[in-house]
Amino acid sequence: MLEALQHNGWTIIGPKVQDGVIVLDEIQSVDDFPIGYSDRQGPARYRLTRRANKAVFGYNVGPQSPKAVLHAARKVIWRGKKNDLKSQETAEPLPHIAFVGIRPCELKAILIQDDVLLRGPYGDAFYAARRKNLFFIVVNCGQAGGTCFCASTNSGPKADSGFDLSATELMGNDDHRFLMQAGSRRGEELLASLPARPVTEEDLKESGALFAHAVETMGRTLDTHGLKELLYQQLENPRWQEVAERCLGCGNCTSVCPTCFCSTVEDWTSLDGSEARRERRWDSCFSVDFSYIHGGSIRQTGMSRYRQWMTHKLAAWQDQFGTLGCVGCGRCITWCPVGIDITEEAAAIRSSAQQKEALDGND
């Protein structure tokens, strides 16, 4: 499959072990994949481990998502010299990129970012340029991670649409194989060029059991019933202050989140004034300056900044874009230095609201 993609001019981006984590990088051969690796994740904890078998995709998700490629952390949007102010960078498309090994939750995140950055009156030309010429081979999840909750957000463990090809890795009875499904004409053409046999009922039964096991063993759950209304009604809940006392305001959660899209613009000038450039870079609502308007920041406290992030992700996002801003990948839990858990905070706010309602009813 990789050879076929490379022969057709695709640059392959996929998972690779680097510096003790699994990152996205260019893939040249099968040997580049994290074969035989798994990971253990918990609040503020990530460790790579070795598996007893040679599964190619036997891990969950690392700190990076396709957002790092499609919505780059830094982008020069203008560059000029003193005597050549017309010099400017345009939104050049990336080479033909095939993402191999992304997870269903990551694919869902890309589709969510499409709603934010492509559609509507304020489309992002740079994102649109990078979004072209992409091929998605998604790998369905046969195991759950310690912090993921994609079943709660309808983002996994199996992808239903949006891919060119989907793969389910099956390791039963010492028979290492992949169950493949085409989701587009390009996917059908690639699949037809590969050595394959028809799917059997046993293959489908085995894959179904994998998905069911992943759902049953998922590390977290998020009750989304009435969540938007709940958060809007609990803006003064004391839990916001409790979580703010633990939050470092570092912005790790927004950096690793596959759907967060906020950015800022910075201007740079050389010391002699001969050159200047304007860059766009990722920003975070946990930054004091993020909400700066004339006269100062409107979110001075850690409590107000955490509340903004969580209520936007789980409530206001639905009003803006018609979907949750969370895909349940669990990265914000794993990579928070103090292990703040968004599912725990949502459950605590729901619980305290129900307790207050019960007390008021008794009165």
Q: Which of 163, 196, 216 is the last residue of a domain?
A: 216
Shared domain for 93 and 203, answered yes or no, is yes
CB atoms within 10 A of CB 192: 9
Do 144 and 70 have their domain in common?
yes
Least confident among 85-89, 145-149, 319-323: 85-89
What residues form DSSP beta bridges with 166?
A: 138, 181
- Clarify whether residues 8 and 149 are in a common domain: yes
In this prediction, residue 179 carries a pLDDT of 95
Residue 180 lies in a domain: yes
Do 206 and 244 fall within a single domain? no
- Position 355 confidence tier, pLDDT thresholds 50, 70, 90: confident
Q: What's residue 181's pLDDT?
A: 96
For residue 357, pLDDT over 80 is answered with no
Tell me if 91 is assigned to some domain: yes
For residue 130, the model assigns a pLDDT of: 87
Residue 81: predicted pLDDT: 82
State residue 310's pLDDT score: 96
Q: What is the pLDDT of residue 25?
A: 95
Q: Which pLDDT score, from 0 to 100, does residue 92 have?
A: 63
Q: What global pTM score does this model have?
A: 0.91
Residue 89 pLDDT grade (very low, low, confident, very high; cuts 50, 70, 90):
low
What is the reported pLDDT for 85? 60
**Do 231 and 165 share a structural domain?**
no
Instruction: Provide the pairing of β-strand 165-170 with 177-182.
Output: antiparallel
Same-domain status, 90 and 148: yes
Same domain, 262 and 303: yes
Asked if residue 201 belongs to a domain, the reply is yes
Q: Is 8 exposed, middle or buried (0-12, 13-18, 19+ CB in 10 A)?
A: middle
Which of 166, 196, 216 marks a domain boundary? 216
Rounded to whole angstroms, the Cα distance separating 329 from 150 reads: 6
Residue span of the structural domain in which 39 resides: 2-216
221 inside domain: no
H or E stretch covering 21? strand 21-26
248 and 202, same structural domain?
no
Residue 78 or 348, more confident: 348
pLDDT at res. 51: 92
Query: pLDDT tens for residues 283-296?
Result: 999 998 888 888 88
Between 87-91, 275-279, 281-285, the lowest mean confidence (pLDDT) is in: 87-91
Q: CA-CA-CA-CA torsion for 328, 332, 335, 336, nearest 10 degrees?
A: -140
Task: Give me the mean pLDDT over the 55-71 stretch.
Answer: 94
pLDDT of 91 above 80 = no
* Cβ atoms of 336 and 310 closer than 8 Å: no
Q: Which residues contact 166 (CB under 8 A, 6 or more apart)?
A: 137, 138, 139, 140, 158, 159, 180, 181, 183
> DSSP letter at 319?
H
Contacts of 154 (CB under 8 A, 6+ apart): none
pLDDT at residue 133, as a whole number = 87
Strand pairing report for 263-269 and 177-182: unpaired
**277 strand-pairing partners:** 79, 268
- 31 and 178 together in one domain: yes
Tell me the pairing of strands 11-18 and 97-102.
Answer: parallel
Whether 222 maps to a domain, the answer reads no
Q: Indicate whether 193 and 313 sit together in one domain.
A: no
* Residue 78 lies inside a defined structural domain of this protein: yes
* CA nearest to 81, candidates 313, 274, 332: 274
- pLDDT at position 80 is 82
- Residue 132 pLDDT > 90: no
The count of domains in the chain is 2
- Is the peptide bond preceding residue 104 cis, with omega within 30 degrees of 0? no
Q: Tell me, yes or no, whether 255 and 356 share the same domain.
A: yes
CA distance 29 to 63: 22
